[in-house]
Amino acid sequence: MKANIVKEASMQRQKDMIAAHFELLARAHETGRKVVYTFVPGNLTELMLAFDTLPVHPEINALQAGMRKQSAGYIAEAERAGHSEDVCTYVKCDIGMMMKGNIGPTGQKLPEPDLLLLSYTGCFTFMKWFELLREQYECPVAMLHVPYQSTGRAEPAMIEYVVKQLRTEVIPKLEAVTGKAFDEDLLRTLLGNSVLAEDDLVHVLESAKHRPSPIDAYFGGVYYIGPLFTAFRGTPEAVEYYRMLREEVDARQAQGLGPITPEGPIDDERFRIVVEGPPNWTHFREFWKMFYDERAVIVASTYTKVGGVYDRGFRHDPERPLETLAEYCLGCYTNLDLATRVEMIVGYIEDYDADGFLINSIKSCNSFSAGQLVMLRAIEERTGRPGCFIETDLVDPRYFSASNIKNRLESYFQMLAQKQTGHEPVEAAS
């Protein structure tokens, strides 16, 4: 028997926003709007909106295909065309979707890009991905190279380097494609809207410090970050959505309620967990239910920082429009060194009083999975909290073994329960 899924007003608002965006995309060539394909980490949404372009995010289309159980067919199509099994499954899903007509998540055909805008933020695969798309679409490419933060901070020379590229490479390409001149005042207005939304998102994410947490910051968190990390940052619609979400979360917290899940609310929180790595999209609800069954709530996650580490203090600054865009790109999670990532997770475990942490290592995503075993041991040593290590994939169902993952999680939660009662287990579940 299926649970009676609770739908709050913000959920419907986000659904309506996304549907309206894809309707605009479906009519883009008819209305004369220009379309820019780009990626989530380091995206320049406010700058694109200042030129009245419509963003498309290929990795979002891939994860949506995974949630709709379509990705296996698209991946098979790409592999038949010669793409290796080891290639990022987001790439193969997107390429396969393109080969099958490029039908988006709402069932409407996605328009071809007028510009490919690549902000390179720690993922080498993005560059190869856009090379493949450039061969298919033969449209202009704007490449923004973002230096890797190997020291854990953005040096002034790095910021200057990125700003120079914005002025000489990205903005001229947007001007040429759209026929519009760069309007810095409009960009400042959009960035001002971003700050308001960013403040409310951080408030929502930090509500998980409360016991019980009114949110799930991983499975639920992927919905919360959606508008801000994709096509809506800088818009009045995003400001309104995050204001609404904040009010809903505050109300749940005031009533002592736990997070809403597809299986029902969790009001009897048992375990508090921090998660590193993206979720698996092909079995998203099944994966979430494994935590629901154990009354385990994810109180913080690194994946919800892939499009911006706002809870570490970053806000877009309308007074320094190009510099703040550069700082945003430099600070995305996948562009941070391992020591900084470890520091973040240790901070989450301590600040959110987590019982332990989970690393979901993604088979085909080196941006996340490289170094995770080293991170696991370092975090355990720093915090004294046990970690659990599992392996899945982004959108390839062949690499989600439900029984193996469930067994490992059950063993891990049993160990946490023993620690809570003072009976120490013999060994960890990592």
3-state secondary structure the chain: CCCCCCCCHHHHHHHHHHHHHHHHHHCHHHHCCCEEECCCCCCCHHHHHHCCCEEECHHHHHHHHHHCCCHHHHHHHHHHCCCCCCCCHHHHHHHHHHHCCCECCCCCECCCCCEEEEEECCCHHHHHHHHHHHHHHCCCEEEEECCCECCCCCCHHHHHHHHHHHHHHHHHHHHHHHCCCCCHHHHHHHHHHHHHHHHHHHHHHHHHHCCCCCCCCCCCHHHHHHHHHCCCCCCHHHHHHHHHHHHHHHHHHHCCCCCCCCCCCCCCCCEEEEEECCCCCCCHHHHHHHHHHCCEEEEEECHHHCCCCHHHCCCCCCCCHHHHHHHHHHCCHHHECHHHHHHHHHHHHHHCCCCEEEEEEECCCHHHHCCHHHHHHHHHHHHCCCEEEEEECCCCHHHCCHHHHHHHHHHHHHHHHHHHCCCCCCCCCC
Q: Note the pLDDT of residue 430.
A: 46
Q: Note the pLDDT of residue 426.
A: 45
What range defines the domain where residue 306 resides? 1-430
Q: Note the pLDDT of residue 422.
A: 76
Q: Note the pLDDT of residue 6.
A: 64
Q: What is the mean pLDDT of the chain?
A: 93
Q: What is the pLDDT of residues 147-185, one digit of tens each?
A: 998 888 899 999 999 999 999 999 999 999 999 999 999
Amino acid at 199: D
Residue 161 in tokens: 């380097």
pLDDT at 252 over 90: yes
Q: Which residues, listed in sequence order, are joined to residue 361 by a DSSP beta bridge?
A: 391
Q: What is the pLDDT of residues 364-386, one digit of tens each?
A: 888 888 889 999 999 999 999 99
Q: Note the pLDDT of residue 279.
A: 95
Assess contact for 187 and 50: CB atoms under 8 A: yes
How many whole angstroms separate alpha carbon 333 and alpha carbon 415?
30
Q: Note the pLDDT of residue 171.
A: 98
Residue 58 in tokens: 């290929």
What is this structure's pTM?
Answer: 0.94
Domain count, the chain: 1
